[in-house]
Amino acid sequence: MKDSSAANIGKFTDPAKTATGQERASVRLNRLETLWFNTGTLCNITCANCYINSSPTNDALVYISAREVSGFLDQLASGEARRCEIGFTGGEPFMNPQMIALAETALTRGHQVLILTNAMQPMMRPKVKAGLVDLAARFGDRLTLRVSLDHHGAARHDAERGSGSFERTLKGMDWLTAQGIRMTVAGRSLWHEDAATARAGYAALFAARGYDIDAFDPGQTLLFPEMDLNVEVPEITTACWDILKKSPDTVMCASSRMVVKRRGARLPTVVACTLLPYDPQFDLGETLAAADRPVALNHPHCAKFCVLGGASCSA
């Protein structure tokens, strides 16, 4: 992830006030619709701009275990959000040797499961493929894999993820399609390409490959704004909700939380957002009950991705 303090110097320092002294907006958790688990930051590739700095060597967030996931699902079962979407993100989730067990743990409890993946080598190992086929046979469309396909063309996708990665991802998507495993796509809003053009490009690709994905449905083809800390963004004040004609209930931290396990930590912890696993001000405690409190929008990602970009990692 590109990082520079110069672009937003003086901003995002006080959780209560903006740089101009206005009251900073905050968001309360009014419903837990998606509980995310970060499976670990290790990844089989290094992208040009990864918001979580995943790579083959970054294990700042270590592999979470099925036992630890089960403990948080126990907490869900005793609360109001007994059934919600369980999302797994990384890193590359299929680097975690327990990924199939993690998904099975959530599926057997009746949850919807969403796994974010680049659909490359870690997913294509024989044992993982056999596990996915088994889960799909038992749980059907309650299992969804969201594949990271940054662009509908090879050149731009490979510029982000490395030479040949586009074709390797399509090979994985071909296999998922052949198995009848439900699949969606996450792309990026880059290259000054408007959304209509991008979606038309994805639609042509999906039709040519026989993928059952609607490129014009934002729930099936998500186009995420780029998160570049070199770009100046405005701070979000309480007045912005009326100015922008938006509700804080639409922001991701109003309906989701993420569980991470940091290297050296005894226990996993809950953070406010999938985008901010490293910033200590977004640590909310070791239980879901402790994490049920307002989140100050005190980071550029809060403004650029969630409020102004209108994006969410959930489906």
* Residue 230 confidence (pLDDT) above 90: no
* Over residues 155-179, mean pLDDT: 97
What value does the mean pLDDT take over residues 214-238? 87
pLDDT at 81 over 80: no
∠ CA 119-62-85, rounded to 5°? 55
Least confident of 43-52, 104-113, 229-238: 229-238
Query: What CA–CA distance (Å, rounded) separates 279 from 272?
Result: 10
Range name among 61-75, 142-156, 161-175, 293-307 with the lowest pLDDT average = 293-307
* CATH, domain 31-232+249-295, list 1.10.490.10, 3.40.50.300, 3.30.365.10, 3.20.20.70: 3.20.20.70
The 3-state DSSP class for residue 190 equals coil
Residue 199 zone, left/alpha/beta (φ > 0; ψ -120 to 50; rest): alpha
Residues 313, 252: contact at Cβ < 8 Å?
yes
